[in-house]
């Protein structure tokens, strides 16, 4: 009679086999767990974001409800230059007859889009030039852009960190390093970023509170730095018939002017460093 075999179990090898089985692509994970790993926000952060969005959306809807029913159906966001021309013709008379209500609706829509990163604010800036002229148009664009950027700044300060780390990890790391190097002249650096298209305004709005850019510097850089771009778009809105595409706004000449203004904004920093080295 053969002797009974004794089964010896190696605990370490058993644990390695279990870990390899869990990590294998064929192993099935619950859908909820996989979604939580991919989605950057926690459940409570998502609830907060949805609540803020709902408050803004309800407020915007209430403002729209105060407008005459005949004009309400014409309030559609333009997605092209041709859509913008049609919208300008439809709202031109209404804006002149009911300027206060129209400006209230215009500002609310612009700030809502800027806060929640909805594309199309460039068309709203062109519309300001087409309907209000240069001076009033620039004031409205800068005011709405600053208000929307400020709302986006504080919303990102509340729940934006995981989103920015999820979307732009490398760009955020570079931005954080640049901000840390320029703490003594941070306003000049933020002005340069606002004036030139070096970084998208969307990224600046979301990432600034995460890399500890103080709000007063963020605010001043936004108010002053957006004026050149606002002037370009508002002036272009006066001649919508000559504009074929949004790309026509930023040709080589326009970009050269913006970068020159941006260079002037950081010139004090360059001169200071030169004196230090000397």
Give the pLDDT confidence of 94-121 residue by residue, as tens digits: 888 888 888 998 999 999 999 998 888 9
pLDDT at residue 75 in the model: 58
Q: How many CA atoms lie within 13 A of 37 on its CB side?
A: 6
pLDDT of 11 strictly over 80: no
Summarize the confidence of residues 148-169 as an average pLDDT. Answer: 92
pLDDT of residue 203: 95
**pLDDT attached to residue 58:** 92
> 42 falls in which pLDDT band (50, 70, 90)?
confident
Q: Please, what sign has the CA dihedral across residues 161, 163, 168, 170? A: positive
* Residue 159: CA count within 13 A, CB half-sphere: 17
Of 3-17, 78-92, 222-236, which has the strongest mean pLDDT?
222-236
Confidence bin at 12 (pLDDT 50/70/90): low
Mean pLDDT of the chain: 81
User: What percent of the chain stands above pLDDT 90?
Assistant: 42
Q: How far apart are CA 90 and CA 17, in angstroms?
A: 69
Categorize the per-residue pLDDT at 249 as very low, low, confident or very high, splitting at 50, 70 and 90: confident
Q: What is the pTM of this model?
A: 0.78
Q: What is the pLDDT of residues 116-142, one digit of tens each?
A: 988 889 999 999 999 999 999 999 999
23 has a pLDDT exceeding 80: no
pLDDT at 221: 96
Nearest to 154 by CA among 191, 207, 209, 110: 209
Q: What integer is the mean pLDDT of 44-66?
A: 85
Residue 31, pLDDT > 80, answer no
Q: What is the mean pLDDT of residues 230-235?
A: 93
Count other C-beta atoms under 10 Å from residue 106's C-beta.
Answer: 20
Q: What is the average pLDDT across 210-228?
A: 95
The pair of structure tokens assigned to 245 is 């595409």
Name the strand (E) or helix (H) holding 256. Answer: helix 252-277
Q: What is the mean pLDDT of residues 203-208?
A: 96
Taking the alpha carbons of 20, 162, 204, 270 in that order, is the dihedral positive or negative? negative
Q: Which two tokens stand for residue 239?
A: 């001649």
The answer, yes or no, to whether residue 211 has pLDDT greater than 60, is yes
Q: Please tell me the predicted confidence (pLDDT) of residue 120.
A: 87
Residue with the two structure tokens 């272009």: 236
Supply 182's token pair: 């320029």
Q: Looking at the predicted structure, is the pLDDT value of residue 77 above 70?
A: yes
What is the pLDDT averaged over residues 7-26?
Answer: 48
pLDDT at 5 over 70: no
């Amino acid at each position: 009679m053969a002797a009974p075999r004794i089964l010896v179990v190696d605990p370490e090898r058993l644990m390695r086999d279990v870990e390899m089985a869990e990590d294998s692509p064929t192993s099935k994970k619950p859908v909820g767990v996989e979604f939580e790993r991919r989605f950057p926000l926690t459940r409570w952060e998502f609830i907060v974001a949805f609540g803020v969005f709902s408050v803004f959306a309800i407020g915007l809807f209430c403002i729209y409800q105060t407008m005459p029913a005949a004009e309400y159906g014409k309030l559609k966001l333009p997605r092209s230059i041709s859509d913008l021309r049609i919208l300008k013709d439809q709202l031109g008379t209404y804006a002149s007859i009911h300027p206060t209500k129209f400006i209230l609706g215009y500002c609310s829509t612009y700030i809502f889009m800027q806060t929640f990163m909805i594309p199309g604010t460039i068309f709203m800036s062109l519309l300001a030039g087409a309907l209000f002229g240069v001076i009033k148009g620039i004031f409205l664009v800068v005011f709405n852009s600053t208000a929307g950027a400020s709302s986006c700044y504080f919303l990102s300060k509340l729940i934006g960190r995981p989103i920015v780390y999820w979307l732009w990890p490398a760009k955020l790391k570079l931005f954080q390093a640049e901000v840390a190097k320029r703490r003594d002249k941070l306003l000049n650096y933020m002005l340069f970023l606002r004036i030139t298209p070096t970084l998208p305004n969307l990224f600046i709005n979301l990432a600034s509170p995460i890399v500890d850019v103080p709000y007063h510097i963020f605010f001043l850089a936004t108010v002053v730095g957006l004026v050149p771009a606002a002037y370009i778009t508002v002036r272009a809105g006066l001649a919508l018939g000559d504009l074929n595409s949004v790309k026509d706004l930023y040709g080589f000449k326009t970009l050269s002017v913006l970068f020159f203004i941006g260079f002037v904004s950081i010139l004090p920093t360059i001169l200071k460093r030169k004196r230090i080295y000397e």
